[in-house]
Amino acid sequence: MSKYPRAAFIKSADAPVQFVPDEGAEVAFAGRSNAGKSSAINVIVNRRQFARTSRTPGRTRLINFFSLRDGARIVDLPGYGFARVADSQREHWADLMAEYFETRASLRGMFLVVDIRRKLTDFDRQMLAFATSVGLPVHVLLTKADKLKRGQAARALREVGGELGDQVTIQLFSALDRQGEDEARARLEELLESSE
- Return the one option of ligand GTP, Mg ion, none that residue 57 interacts with (CB less than 5 to 8 A, by type): ligand GTP
Contacts of 194 (CB under 8 A, 6+ apart): 25, 108, 109, 137
- Closest to ligand GTP by CB, 34 or 106: 34
- Closest to ligand GTP by CB, 24 or 178: 178
With CB under 5 A as the contact rule, the residue among 25, 29, 38, 107 that binds Mg ion is 38
- Return the one option of ligand GTP, Mg ion, none that residue 67 interacts with (CB less than 5 to 8 A, by type): none
CB contact at 8 A, 154 and 160: no
The rounded distance, in Å, linking the Cα atoms of 177 and 175 is 6
- Return the one option of Mg ion, ligand GTP, none that residue 144 interacts with (CB less than 5 to 8 A, by type): ligand GTP
Q: Which of 180, 70, 76, 80 is nearest to 128 (CA)?
A: 80
Positions in the binding site for Mg ion (CB under 5 A): 37-38, 60
